Each structure stands twice: as C-alpha cells, then as structure tokens.
Amino acid sequence: MESIDLAILAQLQAYQHCHRWIIAYSGGIDSTVLLYSLVSANQRLQSPKPIIALHINHQLSEFADQWQQHCQQTAQSLNIDYFSQKADVFSKGKGVEAAARDIRYQVFEQYLQPGDCLLMGQHRNDQAETLLFRLLRGAGVKGLAAMPISRPLGKAMLLRPFLDTRREDIECYAREHQLQWVDDDSNVNERYDRNYLRHQVLPVLKQRWPGVEGQLSATAVRMREADQLLEQLAQSDLQQLNVQMARCGSSLDLGQLVTLISPEASLLNQGLSDARVNNLLRYWCFSMGYPLPQSEHLEHIKSQFLNGNHLASSACVSWKQTECRQFGGRLYLMSTLPKFTEPNSVLKWNMETSLSLGVAGALHWVDVDQQDNSALRLVKRPYTIRWRQGGERCTPSHRQRSQTVKKLLQEYGLETWLRGRVPLIYMGTELVAVGDLWVNKGYEAPSETTGLLWQLGASNLLG
C-alpha cells in the first residue's frame, strides 16, 4: 500500500467504532484522492463501513451543476452511495468564503447521524495557510491552533486524515492513479485572502524557508497544546465561581470573581492575574457556544463589572449578538435579546400545546415530579396571556396580602431585562399567574402532575 493509503487506514482503524464514513466530496483533487484512498482502506478493515459521498452545490460557479454531475458519476463508478444538496450562499457582510463555509457546516450537521464520521480533505498546506491567515488577523492561541485533526461535530465526529500530508503527495497520488477531478476556477481568484496567501505569499516564504509549511503546521500543533493547557486552567478558575445556567444563557458569581482579583488575594498568592481573568472569560464564552470577545470587549467588561461598584452597574457590554450584564451580584452571559414591545393584543392559551410568545419566549406545560415542591402547578383551563401595563396587583399563593407585580418581580429576583417580557396569565379579568414565577391564591393545583414553564431559549428568541 502507498503512504497515503496507509495513513488513511491507520486513521480509520482508530475510528472503527463509527457507523458510517461520510466524505465531504467537492470533486476537487483533495477530496477525490481522499475518496479513492478511503474506498481502498475501508476494504482492508476487519469490519468495513458504508461510505457516502456528500456533495454540496454552492451554486457560485457557472460550472457548479457540471461538478455535481461529475461527483455523482464518480460515486456510482465506485459503487458507493451519493447525496447532494444545493445551497444558497448569502455573505451578509462576512465574505463569500466564510458564508460558504457556514452553509457547508449547516448541511453537514443536518445530514450527519449519531455515530457517523465525516472525513474532510484538508492537508498540511491548508493548515499552514489557516495559521498564517489567522495570524495576520490577530488571532490568539485558540485561533493559531488552526484546524484540529478531529473534533465532535453535532452528534458525529469530524476527521481530517490528510492534515499531516503534503499537497505534493496528494497530487502525485492523483496522477499515478490517473484520477479525474474538477478544478474550481475560484481557487485562482486572488481576490480571496486564502488564495492570495497560497499563490503570492507562501511561494515567496518557501524560497527563503523551504520547510515553512511543515513548520507552520508544527506550530499549530504546539498552539493546540498551549490552548488545552489554558482551557484546563480556565476550567479550574471557573469552578470557584459557581457557574449556573440562567433563564437566558449562563451566570457566575461576580462577587467571588472581584474577590479573586483583589490586591489582598494577590498578596496571598491566591489571586487571578489580568491575563488569567481574560482567559477564563474567553473560555466561559467558548464553553457556552458564544463568539469570543475581542480585547476591547474584555477591557470593557472588566472596567464595568470588576470594580468596587460592580453591584450598581447597569451596563451592557455587547459583541457579535452576545452580551454581558450584571444583576444580583452575578455576571450574566447571553445572546443579545431582540427588541421587545408589549403587544396590545391578547393571546389565548388552552394549555393543550406550547404557546409561542415571539421574542418573549414560550409557555410550556411539562410533566413534573409529584414530590417537586418547586414546580408551578396551575389548574388546567383556557387562559389569556397579556403583558404588564403598570399598576397590576396580585396575591401569590404563599402570601396573605396583595402586592404590585412590579414589587413582586423585584422580590422574586427576576433579572431586570426580563421583567417587561414576563407573561401575565389571566382567566377573564383575574390575574392567575406570572410567568412560571408564582401562582396566585385560589388557583393552585397541588395534585397536578404537570407544571408551567416559561422558557426564553435560543429558538424562542428568534421569534
């Protein structure tokens, strides 16, 4: 077997627990060599897996349909399954390359099943280009780690078996096996940053440093090791801060964080340095799936919330549809809340199904444990949903006297940015419950096995 086939076989043997091999097949030389070598190596496994060639037609070239047809014919000639999907690419200000990449991964995650392994054809030269591109954009350690050889992708795995293979070796394999592939005309368009690096910058660097691509790839490996160490440090630091899931996003103990960065803690060698605070804030965002803040955002977060007057701060630090806020001594991280205006109309709810409240979330009727005293149980009847207009009063079931809803929301500790969105549940003109915070006296249903849930999740926030 050739070196490429041996490399693929070794990778497949490490992932034999996977159920199917899904190859991201564009029809270009890299994915074509990956496809042929995958078919060859799979036959040598003790338990060969089904192979599926997955082609995404971005419809960006006049030849896109021809490439799709070529990929289908190649898959048929190899007697493997084939799936293609056309995609609409909208740049939305981020550039065509980034937009096309985003749509590819959306299709991948939609198509992949639990236990699948998606194989992609990026090689050592691609890794060098990625690191150099990110370096020029000012990336930190995580960005300079470039592409990992494997990582989870939804409920499946992503594997890049060529990541330590040179482009020249892939081209040699294709010629020796007389393979047929398509040439994407956009790959020579130097208007795209990666193509400019590939055709103008890296060749000059190679003249001076012939092994530059291997060295850059090795640097990416070292950056990945450094990133893993930083993540472990951040995990240890976050464990001291009582991180909790919130109704929107996540929160941590702001008072404890302020204590850890105090001069007193530093004198005792127990404090967190400025760099360490930046590290834990970045990792907190990363672990929760939010975009990483830039340096200016981190400085704004620290100046607004990590000071002696942090409990009084009503600031909101925003970046890339993400924001940080403070409430009740906790720092909150969440997706940016869409603008909310109290509807004038009344919504009807029969409690048979969940009720969408648009950007105010949704009301759900969920099963609860009979022993769960925290569950909010309400008599099942038709209700109407309204929002605060001001001056509403009610008497929660555990109180003897009525109080304004405004005052009660303060007592219940609902975050200030959610108080205008909380749904008020009425039966006729009577206020029966407020969100899933409390049921008013006379409307309790302690024997109910279902409870009320007001949810402001990511899907709800999209309205």
Which pair of tokens denotes residue 444? 């309790």
Is there a binding annotation on residue 185? no
CB 396 within 8 Å of CB 439: yes
Integer Rg of the chain from CA: 28
What burial class does residue 203 get, using C-beta atoms within 10 Å of its C-beta: 0-12 exposed, 13-18 middle, 19+ buried? exposed
Instruction: Name 23's Cβ contacts closer than 8 Å, sequence gap at least 6.
Output: 31, 34, 35, 38, 51, 52, 53, 54, 118, 119, 120
Q: Identify the CA nearest to 128 among candidates 23, 230, 219, 263.
A: 219
Q: What angle do CA 337, 341, 342 make, to 5 degrees?
A: 120
Per-residue H/E/C for 212-268:
HHHHHHHHHHHHHHHHHHHHHHHHHHHHHHCCEECCCCEEEEHHHHHHHCCHHHHHC
Is there a binding annotation on residue 295? no
CB 133 within 8 Å of CB 197: yes
Is there a binding annotation on residue 435? no
Which pair of tokens denotes residue 322? 């993400």
Torsion of CA 226, 227, 233, 238, to 10 degrees: 170
The amino acid at 110: Q
Instruction: Name 439's Cβ contacts closer than 8 Å, sequence gap at least 6.
Output: 376, 377, 378, 396, 397, 432, 433, 452
Give 126's Cβ-side CA count (13 Å radius). Answer: 18
CB 106 within 8 Å of CB 175: no
Is there a binding annotation on residue 303? no
CA 190/CA 232 separation, integer angstroms: 40
The CA–CA distances, whole Å, from 283 to 234, 236, 257, 288 equal 6, 11, 15, 8
Is there a binding annotation on residue 29? yes
Is there a binding annotation on residue 31? yes
Q: Which helix (H) or strand (E) holds 118?
A: strand 116-119
- Which residues are documented as binding site? 26-31
- Which residues are documented as binding site for ATP? 26-31
